[in-house]
Amino acid sequence: MTMLFSSELIKGTLKTILLKLLADNKRMYGYEITQRVKDLTGDRIQLTEGALYPTLHAMEAEGLLTTETEYIGKRVRKYYSLSKEGKSKSKEKISEFSEFLDTMKILLDISPKNA
């Protein structure tokens, strides 16, 4: 049985997740992002629409993302990709999170599994 991570944990890392995903993929749309996260984490992280779209909009307003739209029949699909600023922010956030993880390991006295 897979363990789902709490929304509090995901909320703090959502921006980093989105930046990393978009750095690895040229462009993605909302539903695609949620599915990719599910696939990559074996369903352990499920992004909610209520968290995803407000964050995407805020990141777009911040200038981290650029968007393009495509018509799929009658509906519009919005693709997100990283702006120049977003690319450098992505590296910065991943590095920050990596250091945070190392610090948390020390703080919570978590030994590496292979140790």
Partner 1 sequence: MYCLKEQQIDFILNDIRARGVEMEDLQSNLLDHICCIIEENLKEGEDFESFYRQTIPKFYKKELWELEEETITLLIFKSYPVMKKAMIRSGVISATLLTLGILGKFLRLPGSSPCLVLGIVTMSFVFLPLLFTLKAREQKNTKDKLILGLGVFAASLMCLSVLFKIMLWPYAMFMGLSSVFILIAFFLPIYFVNGIRNPDTKVNSIVTSILLIGGCGLFLSLVSVRRMQGTLVNELVIYTTGEQILKTEQAQVVALSSKCSKPLSVLSEGEHIGKLCEDMKSSMYEYATGHPGSGPSPGNIPELHQDFNPGDFLMGNPKAMDQLEELEKVVLVYNKAGIDKTIAGFVPVSDDSGILAHANARTNAKARFDYYSSVLVAMNNLTQIEMTILQNEERRLFGN
Contact set with partner 1 (CB under 8 A):
29-31, 34, 48-51, 53-58, 61-62, 69, 72-78
Q: Please, what is the minimum distance in Å from the beta carbon of residue 102 to partner 1?
A: 28
Q: Which CB atom, from 19 or from 56, has the smaller least distance to partner 1? A: 56
Q: Please, what is the minimum distance in Å from the beta carbon of residue 52 to partner 1?
A: 9
Separation between Cα atoms, residue 80 and residue 18, nearest integer Å:
10
Q: Please, what is the minimum distance in Å from the beta carbon of residue 27 to partner 1?
A: 14
C-alpha closest to that of 61 among 85, 77, 37: 85
Q: Which CB atom, from 82 or from 112, has the smaller least distance to partner 1? A: 82
- Please answer whether residues 42 and 94 qualify as being in contact, where contact means their C-beta atoms are separated by less than 8 angstroms: no
**C-alpha dist (Å) from residue 33 to 3, 54, 102:** 20, 14, 27
Q: Which CB atom, from 63 or from 104, has the smaller least distance to partner 1? A: 63
Q: Which CB atom, from 80 or from 90, has the smaller least distance to partner 1? A: 80
- For residue 75, give the 3-state DSSP assignment: strand
Q: Please, what is the minimum distance in Å from the beta carbon of residue 79 to partner 1?
A: 10
